[in-house]
Amino acid sequence: MAQDVFYLKADDTKGWLSFKQMVISLSQIQELEKMLRPLYKEHEDLSTGFKNIKKDLEFVVYIRNKFASHSLQGLMNKTFEWRPETISMVSTDHETMPLLLNLFVLETAINTYVTREGKHKHFESNTDLVYQPDFLRFMEFVDTIVDESVEYLEGLLAFFDEQVEHVPMDDLGGSGAWFKAAMTSFQYLRKGKK
């Protein structure tokens, strides 16, 4: 289960970096899906797997945007409001400070995923990651979205594997193709240029 993998020690910077990288990686699935949409006309079954994880990935993208890849002053201000103890924590060198600061900022990002009316869009109530039932609820979400995303990607891999004609190395055009490859000149690719 994800909570087994997401075990953090007080000063575990690598664990937080791994968690943030996981969030960023999962959010890329939504970007990939946008590129695949033209295939749905002929292969409707490809969209089924994504439909199962779409809402969860929207939540992951929100967490990425607010917590994992951008530092937002508004999120920090809301964290100080939600968790007043954070204000005194940032001025200490205590070994638990990085863990708790990341935890409180993460839970603030989770709690700000609401409708205009303030209703939570993913979980049914505020999330307090120090409270074990809330922490386990979040970890079960992480575990599920990782498993379902891997399942979706495995389905895509199987689909594309069927579409690709595998060419043996010997059939690549003899030494001419390799000579041409050796002469390749690389240049910086700019947006809009082929």
pLDDT digits (tens, 9 = 90+) for 124-144: 999 999 899 999 999 999 999
53/132 Cα distance (integer angstroms)? 25
- 95 band by pLDDT with thresholds 50, 70 and 90: confident
Q: DSSP assignment of 168-194, as one string?
A: -GGGS-HHHHHHHHHT-------TT--
Domain coordinates in residue numbering, the chain: 2-182
Helix (H, G, I), strand (E, B) or coil at 31: helix
What does the alpha-carbon distance between residue 21 and residue 123 come to, in Å, rounded to a whole number? 22
pLDDT digits (tens, 9 = 90+) for 14-49: 778 888 899 999 999 999 999 999 988 888 888 888
Q: How many CB atoms lie within 10 A of CB 41?
A: 7
Is pLDDT above 90 for 192?
no
pLDDT the model gives residue 4 = 44
pLDDT band at 168 (very low <50, low <70, confident <90, very high): confident
